[in-house]
Structure 1
Amino acid sequence: MQRLKLKIQLYCGDEIAMGPGKADLLDAITQHGSISAAARAMDMSYRRAWLLVDAMNRCWRQPLVETSPGSAKGGGARLTAFGQAVLNHYRALKDRLQGSSDCPDYQALAAAMLAEPKASQKGDRN
């Protein structure tokens, strides 16, 4: 059975402003309340997570994530209302496009595709 998997990336210049990994990071920040906890949950370094958040905050008209400085109680991070709206629109767009697999173009591609790849053709001259 063929399947369609779309990977949607929105660009701001050469920078990816939003994509599947960044959306998942935003979800993790919402769930865990900090960039460091979100990074741990995603098996990612804090530095990598922070760089992704920084890129997102630089690419949109308003920040998607706001942080509070660490203290004895620890710092935190949360999505702004704008960030939640951007995430919701991104997820809705992904769902809408993912549901387009019943279109004639996809059906034609699926009919032309094998269920599994052929054995390696390396060395084949035909």
Structure 2
Amino acid sequence: MLSKPSQPPAQPKLPGTPYGEHVRARLWITGTQGGYLGVGKVLLLEAIAEKGSISQAAKAIGMSYKRAWQLVEELNALGDSPMVVTETGGAHGGGTRLTERGERAVRLYRAFESEFAAFLKTFPQPFDI
């Protein structure tokens, strides 16, 4: 009887961003009024800034239009002023853009993410757990 060659056990698909071969993590920044800013919302904000449209931004990051609108509403409810504004009509047909607050949120998140990644790289790998 032939036996199958032994294979290492399959590794589970883990959530989070890889920060090295053996470290995965997620980063959220929580607001003082509740709510949070995570990588999904930041990716949406960046795509809105690039595309000028919630519909095109959602398509670019593989998100449904409905979910993108939900996240925009959550983002705009995080503080006293919105992060995303939509403009209708006009010579170019309107569009969507980030406010200064939205741009600042993206910069803040990316700065934290960079520092977080640098911190995680200070640990020796692989871990013996």
* Short-chain TM bin: 0.7 to 0.9
Within a 5 Å distance, the mapping from 1:33-52 to structure 2 comes to 33-52=52-71
Q: 1:112 aligns to what?
A: 128
SS at match of 1:111: coil
Q: 1:7 aligns to what?
A: 26
How does the TM-score come out when normalised to structure 1?
A: 0.73
**1:7-62, CA deviations, whole angstroms, 9 ceiling, x for partnerless residues?**
1112348x642100100000100110010110111222111100001001101232
Contact preservation (8 Å) 2:85, 2:97: yes
Q: 1:102 to 1:32 in 2, by over 3 A?
A: closer
Q: Does 1:17 align with 2:36?
A: yes
Contact preservation (8 Å) 2:83, 2:103: yes
Give aligned-pair identity as a percent. 35
Q: More helix by proportion, 1 or 2?
A: 1
* Paired positions, count: 110
Flag structure 1 segments of 5+ consecutive residues without an equivalent. Answer: 114-126
Q: 1:6 offset after TM fit, Å?
A: 2.8
* Cα distance between partner residues in 2 of 1:49 and 1:102: 32
Flag structure 2 segments of 5+ consecutive residues without an equivalent. Answer: 1-19
Which region of structure 1 is more displaced relative to structure 2, 4-13 or 58-67?
4-13
Q: Does 1:101 align with 2:117?
A: no
SS at match of 2:126: helix
